[in-house]
Structure 1
Amino acid sequence: MQRQINRWQISLAFFCLAIFLILLMGVVWHLPYIHQLDQWGLQNIREPVTPERTWFFKNITRAGNPIWTGFIALWACFFALIFKKYDIALFVMLNVGIFGLGVMKIFKHFVNRPRPNILHLVDEGGSSFPSGHSMNAMLLYGSLIVLVYYYVKNDPIKYAFMTLLTCLIVTIPMSRVYLGVHYLSDVLAGLVLAGFLLIISKEFIFRYKPKEK
């Protein structure tokens, strides 16, 4: 049985893309709203800097590291291939492997935005826009939310996992602003770009797959 394309989700995907383009233009052309957004982020997410908050966000940010997200993605693909769920393997590798690394690196290279000129609480190199950790968070944990929704039958377990994964998607980008290695516009751009890619890939890879009962 063929599942129809969800028009609402496709609309949401292109809304995310539009937000990304607005942020991209603002960063490239140094428009005032980007400065205002970034200052708000530094004042409301970065401050106050305390040992407790630093400990928390240093640990949270590790869940968005490329090595960790790649490790989780490889294990997910391994089990998907064992159980002959080839659509799952394609979905995860496309999002985490190609989108999470390739697309992110392309934009980082061409935009080449310097990182915030403030104290960095972790060591980080490279350019700032968009945030790779934010893209990794949305693409990996967002993919897992989709898979949990499709394949976990027990509702309490399903929604518990979806809530936990959503918390990671929110707190990992926040950690990058707190730690001083990204502006708020960087992490928002990473989230909405990854959201666009995630929804489009989900709608087309699972185009012919109804929700399993």
Structure 2
Amino acid sequence: MKMPYNFKLFLSLSFFFAFGFGLIAILVRLNKMDRFDKLVTTYFQDFETSFLTNIMQSFTYIGSMSFIHILAFVIFILFYFFLKDRSKLLLFIIVLLGSHYLFRLLKQFFKRARPDFHRLIEIGGYSFPSGHATNAICIYGILTFVLWHHIPARWGRFIFSIFSIFMILSIGLSRIYLGVHFPSDVLAGYLAGGFLLTMIIGCYQFVIVKIDERTS
């Protein structure tokens, strides 16, 4: 099933995500998110058990660059040699690289220190926005998009969409639970990643439409 062209919708969503990120960034700069961050972090860490900590560490690993490199290699093999959909493969690579450099640039710009209360794992670097959250929404979002018309059954597409949403939320939540990110970091990561994802997809669909018009 071919996914319909919705480049105007995706570009509109990109502006929405950009506005949301800008709003969160301003509130963080003004220290208006401190109470929210503390309350949400405390709520999730109240569920702390050794078993749950192990699960959250697993989700954090799935969102790490080490695992993303493995996933990217598998996707490359799948699309290049089996599905032979090289335009979608290029789209996946662009989103993957864009996500990586976007959150790094934003971290260097904002230079927000990580939480210092009840951290369950140790990690360096800046906190805002969450790189795990940015990568999660970009990677699982673009996977849903590029695999959409390769999954023939509607129930299959629905299940894969639910799986992607579950992974995005679980990876972000793991960072809050483990105490290495403020909730506002994770929210900002989702918004920054959502902006990049929808903007690139919107531009991609615009190009595809123009190509179709020239060849029709």
User: TM-score higher than 0.5 here?
Assistant: yes
Moved more, 184-193 or 50-59: 50-59
Give the structure 2 partner of residue 87 of structure 1. 87
Indicate whether 1:12 and 2:13 are aligned: yes
Tell me the alpha carbon deviations over residues 152-200 of structure 1, each in whole angstroms, 9 at most, x when there is no partner. 1122222212211110011110000000000000000000110111111
Shift of 1:5: 4.1
Structure 2 contact 5–205 (Cα < 8 Å) conserved: no
Moved more, 72-81 or 16-25: 72-81
Moved more, 139-148 or 45-54: 45-54
Calculate the aligned-residue CA RMSD, in Å.
2.0
Shift of 1:31: 3.0
One-letter amino acid of the counterpart of residue 93, structure 2: M
Alpha-carbon distance in structure 2 between the residues aligned to 1:46 and 1:23: 23
Give the structure 1 partner of residue 188 of structure 2. 189
Tell me the alpha carbon deviations over residues 76-131 of structure 1, each in whole angstroms, 9 at most, x when there is no partner. 123323354222122111111x2221111111111111100123212311110110
TM-score (ref. length: structure 1): 0.88
Give the structure 2 partner of residue 21 of structure 1. 22
Moved more, 122-131 or 77-86: 77-86
The unaligned stretches of length 5 or more in structure 2 are none
Structure 1 contact 130–186 (Cα < 8 Å) conserved: yes
One-letter amino acid of the counterpart of residue 88, structure 2: I
Shift of 1:45: 2.2
TM-score (ref. length: structure 2): 0.87
Alpha-carbon distance in structure 2 between the residues aligned to 1:72 and 1:157: 20
Give the structure 1 partner of residue 156 of structure 2. 157
Shift of 1:49: 1.8
- Give the 3-state SS of the residue equivalent to 2:53 in structure 1: helix
Q: Size of the alignment, in residue pairs?
A: 206
Structure 1 contact 95–140 (Cα < 8 Å) conserved: yes
Structure 2 contact 8–202 (Cα < 8 Å) conserved: no
Structure 2 CA distance for partners of 1:99 and 1:141, relative to 1, 3 Å: same
Structure 2 CA distance for partners of 1:157 and 1:30, relative to 1, 3 Å: same
One-letter amino acid of the counterpart of residue 186, structure 1: D
Indicate whether 1:99 and 2:113 are aligned: no
Shift of 1:134: 0.5
One-letter amino acid of the counterpart of residue 101, structure 1: H
Percent identical residues: 26
Structure 1 contact 130–189 (Cα < 8 Å) conserved: yes
- Give the 3-state SS of the residue equivalent to 1:44 in structure 2: helix
Alpha-carbon distance in structure 2 between the residues aligned to 1:75 and 1:206: 24
